[in-house]
Amino acid sequence: MDAKPYVLFKPIRDQVLEINGKLGLTAKEFIKSGEDTFSVKALLNSYEKNIQEISGDESDTLYNPAELLGRC
């Protein structure tokens, strides 16, 4: 299967959020890349606003949100 990660990420995320909601659970959503961690919400917002570079939580390294979400 040659699907980009985002094509699989969104429906899986939506299902997990729905299940968590039915169970009354909340979860911290983040993506780990190398030594950095990114809030899923922040990544999605950055991608939607066409922001080209963001830094990770643990370093000053700049990343492209689209690449982290598998949209490139």
The residue assigned the tokens 């990770």 is 56
Taking the alpha carbons of 55, 61, 65, 70 in that order, is the dihedral positive or negative? negative
Q: How much is the pLDDT for 68?
A: 87
At residue 28, does pLDDT exceed 60?
Answer: yes
pLDDT, tens only, 30-64: 888 888 999 888 888 998 899 999 988 888 889 99
pLDDT at 27 over 80: yes
Q: Enumerate the H helices of the chain as residue ranges.
A: 5-23, 40-48, 65-68
Please say whether the dihedral angle defined by the alpha carbons of residues 40, 45, 49 and 53, taken in this order, is positive or negative: negative
- For 38, the domain range is 5-68
Structural domain tally of the chain? 1
pLDDT of residue 8 exceeding 60: yes
